[in-house]
Structure 1
Amino acid sequence: MPVTQQGQINTTALVVPDLYVQIVPPQTQYINGVPTNILGIVGTASWGPTNSPTVVGNLAQYAAIFGPVMARIYDMGTALAAAVMQGANNFHVVRVTDGTDTAALIAVLTNCITFTSKYTGTFGNQITVTVGPGSQSGTQKVVVAAPGLVPECFDNIGLGLTANALWVAIAAAINGGTNALRGPSQLIVASAGVGVTAPVSTATTYTLATGTDGASTITSSVLLGVDTVPRKGMYALRNTGASVAMLADASDSTSWAAQIAFGLAEGIYMILTGPSGDTISNAVTVKGTAGVDSYAAKLLFGDWVYWLDTYNNQLRLISPQGFIAGLLANLSPQNSTLNKQLQGIVGTQKTYANQQYSSAELQLLGSAGIDLITNPVPGGSYFGARFGHNTSSNPMVHGDNYTRMTNYIAYTLNGGMGGFVGKLQSPTVRQQAQDTISAFLSNLQQQGMIGDANGGAAFSVVLDKTNNPPSRVALGYMQCDVKVKYLSVIEFFLINVEGGQSVQVSKPATQFAA
């Protein structure tokens, strides 16, 4: 009486009389949408791994891995701080350097041991290593500390050891840990030399030095990186699931084409920016010269933002990218940045000069496919995005919602429908595939993410003989044609008011409850 999985036995060739039970998996399948809240940021830092996408959820986690927010251009901590203020909480960050970064280190005594920071950067210059007597007599204790991080304590090292053997034991403890609870140091690596000088009899603290960030000559090429293994810069974000990404402060228009190509390939909405203090005429000219016209990128005008950096106690002028990217990551994909309030903005270069954009200026920017942050916006006197557009000149696809919903639906289907490949194409399998897609789209409609404002159908899914002729079925093709209607973003609210003593009202006045 065998029990098997469905499809493991040939049910048309049984010989032995018996009871055969087949376990049939659920025939109704559902797919869940891919995350749309992952924000990728590429920039510099004073600590942490380089060219390695690292997941962080808040500023505390970021600081523990990459060091503090730095008051300088291209700093990814600054962009992340601005994004966090908009509610973003899922980041894949990539640290880049210009190649001149060095690790902090210090040599102890005469060729006895060298302590080197695990990562390059100036944060390593704040690491201290204290060497002194251990809790157990005849042993040594090493405490490794850095600002804002839990100290690492390696105790009872080298019982009975002296001279060089003791330094070798100390290095082994730091690099390999002392037990299951005290693993290897996450701050330094130790290299024992050949020195034989005994440690100082009292606890002595050594501070690492000469670490550098490699952030003095950052260019757009460094931020872009290379697309060969091991990938660097922006290309390290491949296959991370990021739905929005930015190269911190990368205002060089020569990088925009590469960013757009990457965004199209990965389904990522790339957030671009113009240079600080840009002019409208220059921005329009540069965008046209660069040939930027794609739904895969959003270009922000170079009216940079004044932000109170409480980490460095100063008012700084920073790129608008972090604010918009953070807002997008925190919005459901059917929504636009248009008219949404942005948090943490003290002012922009324009508003700080007590100036406002005229309708003519806004028309120039909007017609060119350039968005901006300003105050006021249609909703009131607060800072927000003025257009909610990407860089496309096609009004049918130039909304933030088109980019994000299209990527969301496409990558959800790409990630959830692959299980049908390899199955036999039958009416049952066709129906299962059609039902799976329809169920997903029905969920979107039920949640108000797609639909027709006038009550029409929100989507259609066709997978039958009309789009699968025998000539293609015989070659292994199964085609499903899907149409989805996105809800329109209200950009122009027109109210016609006729007032006067001679106005003829054809319907009773609306009665309001007392």
Structure 2
Amino acid sequence: MSNQQYIVPRVGVSEMPPELNTSAGVSLGVIGIVGTFSKGPINTPITCYNVYDVKRQFGDDAMNLTGFKSARGAFNQDPRPEKIVIVRVASAAAKTASLDLLDGQSTPKASINVSALTKGTDGNNVSVKITAGSTPGTFDLVVSYKRLPQETFTGLDLDTLGIPSSYVTLTKAAGANDIPAPLDDTPLSGGDDGATTADADYIGSVDTNGVRTGLKVLETVNVNVVLCAQQTSNAINQALIQHCEQMNVQRGLRVAVLNAKKAATPSQTIAAQTYNSGRAIMAYPWVYPVEDTTKTVAPDGYYAGVLAALAAHISPSSQKVQGIAALERVIPMDADDADLIALTMARISPFAQDIMSSEIVISNGLTTFSYADPATQNDWSQTCYRRIFDKVEMDVAARTKWAKSQPITEKGMFQPLRDQIDMILRDYKDKGEIFDFRPTICDKSNNTAETIQARRVITGISIRPAAAADYIDHNISRFSA
């Protein structure tokens, strides 16, 4: 740049709308799971990125626990979900495994209490060994997990118990004066998962201090697909639907995956399907996981994993489901199968077996919401319709935050909003995520003197979603040269 440009001062004026915030992209790939586990904090949202992460933070599978089964089913999908936010729940019976270390006096008494970090039976796998320290009045501690040494802490005494352990905490016993006596490797005991839960533990609540439990914890977290692991009760299903319907753009718009009853026939499942919400999907039947083909598990995690890994505008119909060895009830994916037709008409989304490939697939991508009313054309029956509208709504909201507190004028507000929203929708159309859109309306026709006085700005956004194909008709004919 020439120095001559700075000889004569000048003022350059450029008429531009306020700088538009850009979005890093809206994801619908996060699953929220409420379930029981053998360890981990209770009623606290914890993010996991793979099944090994779930094991590390919440423990492995167990017969009477629910959360791992659903999380594993989700992470079995390829591609797998972006991440899962887990909320561990437990009954009041949940207890922390512990061990009192005794001193070496002639009449031994408690010196130090060793406790697992969290409540649950996984704490019973932790053991500790005590040896004399290298300095008088100190001791060394070895922490093992399933009898394999994991951590060693040296030179401890009654005043230095704040160790950075991944397994235990140490607390000085009341009235203790002496360090613990040497002790062979000894397990902690008394841990309880609190696995015998009630519906209320999953549904949760918010107390007068704002402390949340169960599903209520996920109200504070941005997730896109939610489920209560392995649960089938009407009360929990209704709570899941209400949870999703009450969410807003800031908290994350979402859909719920509901489970049909275990061992239910198609006719029993159809009779029980009384829900009517565009934000709920009824999955059926229960399945045999490849990890243990002797027991069935609910399909919620598998369905949620497929859904979270899909682009929002793609229907889950005909998508392959990974990690399933067999279905509790085999439903052929055949146009002549009466059960499949009946389940579809009842707005239930079953797993079926593709006759040609023997793969397990989702037979339709329906929500529990009723089909279109010709009078209103209010049709959210396709899950992909619901999700693409959610994505667009969250994307538009994120990228138009600049408009808040800007002057409500044609050039300062209305035109920039119209231009930006149309640009966003044009990008969705060009990528094939929506079929078409109408120009955004944001002017004096829908922003009256009254709404402007109330400091409200209204935009009219109209989108035509990309329809999911229900039928492919191949017309094959012979021709002669």
Tell me whether the two structures share a fold, i.e. TM-score over 0.5.
Answer: yes
For 1:94-135, what per-residue CA distance to the aligned partner results, in whole angstroms no more than 9, with x for missing partners? 111121111101111121111111211000001112222346
Say which of 286, 294, 298 aligns to 1:304. Answer: 286
Deviation at 1:357, TM superposition (A): 9.2
Equivalent residue, structure 2, for 1:254: 235
Say which of 178, 182, 188 aligns to 1:208. Answer: 188
Say which of 199, 204, 221 aligns to 1:240. Answer: 221
Contact 2:20 2:402 in 1 (8 A): no
Say which of 430, 439, 444 aligns to 1:465. Answer: 444
Aligned: 1:66 with 2:52: no
DSSP 3-state at the match of 2:420: helix
The alpha-carbon distance between structure 1 residues 198 and 375, as it changes in their structure 2 partners (threshold 3 A), is same
Equivalent residue, structure 2, for 1:106: 99
For 1:153-174, what per-residue CA distance to the aligned partner results, in whole angstroms no more than 9, with x for missing partners? 32233xxxxxxxx3x22xx33x
Say which of 321, 344, 347 aligns to 1:342. Answer: 321
DSSP 3-state at the match of 2:220: coil
Contact 2:139 2:179 in 1 (8 A): no
Q: How does 1:316-327 map to 2 (within 5 A)?
A: 316-327=295-306
Give the letter for the 2:74 counterpart: A
Contact 1:32 1:440 in 2 (8 A): no
Contact 2:26 2:394 in 1 (8 A): yes
Contact 1:108 1:114 in 2 (8 A): yes
Deviation at 1:374, TM superposition (A): 1.2
Say which of 338, 342, 350 aligns to 1:360. Answer: 338
Q: Within 2, Cα distance between the matches of 1:488 and 1:67?
A: 42
Larger radius of gyration: 1
Q: Within 2, Cα distance between the matches of 1:20 and 1:204?
A: 83
Q: Within 1, Cα distance between the matches of 2:179 and 2:411?
A: 79
Q: Within 1, Cα distance between the matches of 2:384 and 2:333?
A: 30
Q: How does 1:41-60 map to 2 (within 5 A)?
A: 41-60=33-52
Equivalent residue, structure 2, for 1:383: 360
Q: How does 1:173-212 map to 2 (within 5 A)?
A: 173=161, 176-177=162-163, 184-193=164-173, 194-200=175-181, 204-212=184-192
The alpha-carbon distance between structure 1 residues 232 and 260, as it changes in their structure 2 partners (threshold 3 A), is same
DSSP 3-state at the match of 1:238: helix
Aligned: 1:494 with 2:462: no
Give the letter for the 2:429 counterpart: Q
Equivalent residue, structure 2, for 1:15: none
The alpha-carbon distance between structure 1 residues 358 and 105, as it changes in their structure 2 partners (threshold 3 A), is farther
Deviation at 1:21, TM superposition (A): 11
Q: Within 1, Cα distance between the matches of 2:474 and 2:367?
A: 27
Q: Within 2, Cα distance between the matches of 1:318 and 1:22?
A: 66
Equivalent residue, structure 2, for 1:476: 455
DSSP 3-state at the match of 2:424: helix
Equivalent residue, structure 1, for 2:431: 447
Which has the higher mean CA deviation after the structures are superposed, 134-143 or 405-414?
Answer: 134-143
Deviation at 1:326, TM superposition (A): 0.5
Equivalent residue, structure 2, for 1:392: 369
DSSP 3-state at the match of 1:327: helix
Q: Within 2, Cα distance between the matches of 1:271 and 1:148?
A: 40
Aligned: 1:274 with 2:274: no
DSSP 3-state at the match of 1:381: coil
Q: Within 1, Cα distance between the matches of 2:290 and 2:170?
A: 39
The alpha-carbon distance between structure 1 residues 102 and 428, as it changes in their structure 2 partners (threshold 3 A), is same
TM-score, with structure 1 as normaliser: 0.80
Deviation at 1:207, TM superposition (A): 1.3
Contact 1:64 1:149 in 2 (8 A): no
Structure 1: where are the runs of 5+ without partners? Answer: 1-17, 158-165, 178-183, 452-456, 500-504, 510-514
Equivalent residue, structure 2, for 1:369: 347
The alpha-carbon distance between structure 1 residues 32 and 465, as it changes in their structure 2 partners (threshold 3 A), is farther
Q: Pairwise CA RMSD of aligned residues?
A: 2.9
Q: Within 1, Cα distance between the matches of 2:147 and 2:39?
A: 13
The alpha-carbon distance between structure 1 residues 149 and 222, as it changes in their structure 2 partners (threshold 3 A), is farther
Contact 1:64 1:148 in 2 (8 A): no
Equivalent residue, structure 2, for 1:82: 73
Q: Within 1, Cα distance between the matches of 2:268 and 2:339?
A: 12
Equivalent residue, structure 2, for 1:425: 408
For 1:395-448, what per-residue CA distance to the aligned partner results, in whole angstroms no more than 9, with x for missing partners? 431111012112222223334433312111122222222223223222222322
For 1:149-201, what per-residue CA distance to the aligned partner results, in whole angstroms no more than 9, with x for missing partners? 993332233xxxxxxxx3x22xx33xx34xxxxxx333222221234455445
For 1:437-493, what per-residue CA distance to the aligned partner results, in whole angstroms no more than 9, with x for missing partners? 223222222322112xxxxx4343121233223343233232110011211111122
Aligned: 1:437 with 2:418: no
Equivalent residue, structure 1, for 2:86: 93
Contact 1:43 1:247 in 2 (8 A): yes
DSSP 3-state at the match of 1:112: strand
DSSP 3-state at the match of 2:261: coil
Q: Percent identity?
A: 22
Q: Within 1, Cα distance between the matches of 2:429 and 2:290?
A: 41
Equivalent residue, structure 2, for 1:293: 276
Equivalent residue, structure 1, for 2:126: 127
For 1:39-71, what per-residue CA distance to the aligned partner results, in whole angstroms no more than 9, with x for missing partners? 011110000111111111112211111111223
Equivalent residue, structure 1, for 2:4: none
Deviation at 1:248, TM superposition (A): 0.8
DSSP 3-state at the match of 1:317: coil
The alpha-carbon distance between structure 1 residues 460 and 20, as it changes in their structure 2 partners (threshold 3 A), is closer
Q: Within 1, Cα distance between the matches of 2:441 and 2:395?
A: 18
Q: Within 2, Cα distance between the matches of 1:250 and 1:237?
A: 17
Contact 2:312 2:391 in 1 (8 A): yes
Q: Within 2, Cα distance between the matches of 1:403 and 1:148?
A: 50
